[in-house]
Structure 1
């Protein structure tokens, strides 16, 4: 099996997509190919790094900010 084909399959695996070839074939290749094992580890690490994580809660400050506006500001009457 060509490394290019295996890496396409591993990319699908990482993305949770249907693998184009049998998982057993991919796993056998990974057992034998250090380059593809390394590629797979790096690709998984990259996916974890790029996965969006929920942000920290942000306090609601709108009312406090609006109260600090000058009285004649067009936004001072917005609530």
Structure 2
């Protein structure tokens, strides 16, 4: 199996997504490929670092958005 395919599957694993290849095949490749093991360690470390960063503050734009709506615009699409 190509390392590019393995790394896509590892990325999915890191993100908690469904892996596009069988986990056993992925693990067997990882047992024999030092480059993919190294890639996985670096990618996992980066993921943890980014996940630990605080979210930047987001301004509340609701009033500005509502002010630009036409007066008769429905505020909900629920029927």
TM-score range, shorter chain: 0.5 to 0.7
- Runs of 4+ aligned structure 1 residues displaced above 6 Å come to none
TM-score (norm 2): 0.65
Q: CA RMSD in A?
A: 1.5
Residue matched to 2:74 = none
- Give unmatched runs, 5+ long, in structure 2: 56-79
- Give unmatched runs, 5+ long, in structure 1: 56-79
Count of equivalent residues: 55
Larger Rg: 1
Within 5 A, what are the aligned runs for 1:39-58? 39-52=39-52
Structure number with the bigger relative contact order (C-alpha 8 A, sep ≥ 6) is 2
Residue matched to 1:9 = 9
Residue matched to 1:23 = 23
